[in-house]
Amino acid sequence: MAGRFSRSLDLARASWSVVRDDKELLLFPVMSVAALILVLGSLVVPWAFVGGFDANASTTEPGAVSALGALLFYVLAYFIAL
């Protein structure tokens, strides 16, 4: 178990040295978060306009459009994260 922890620590140190030498690599996670926020906004804002957050607006089950929107968000978010 101690060997496993020390290898993990060595790998973390090596990764940190790569990031320290090439600071532009830190732009990838920042751009990923920005893109995920844009995707989330592109789905939440229209949903809010049609009353998606109003508890009294609809008591029916989510329809095909909601399922398609959820699938679209999942695929785009997964693609961006990778």
Asked if residue 5 belongs to a domain, the reply is: no
Q: Does residue 12 form part of some domain?
A: no
Annotate 55-68 with b (16+ C-beta within 10 A) or e (fewer): eeeeeeeeeeeeee
pLDDT digits (tens, 9 = 90+) for 26-49: 898 888 889 888 888 887 787 777
Asked if residue 77 is part of any domain, the answer here is: yes
CA 51, CA 53: separation in Å to the nearest integer? 6
71 in a domain, yes or no? yes
Residue 61 lies in domain: 23-81
Per the structure, the count of domains in the chain is 1
Decide if pLDDT at 59 tops 60. no
Mean pLDDT (whole number) for 70-75: 83
Q: What is the pTM of this model?
A: 0.56
Asked whether residue 1 is domain-assigned, the answer is no
Residue 17 lies in a domain: no
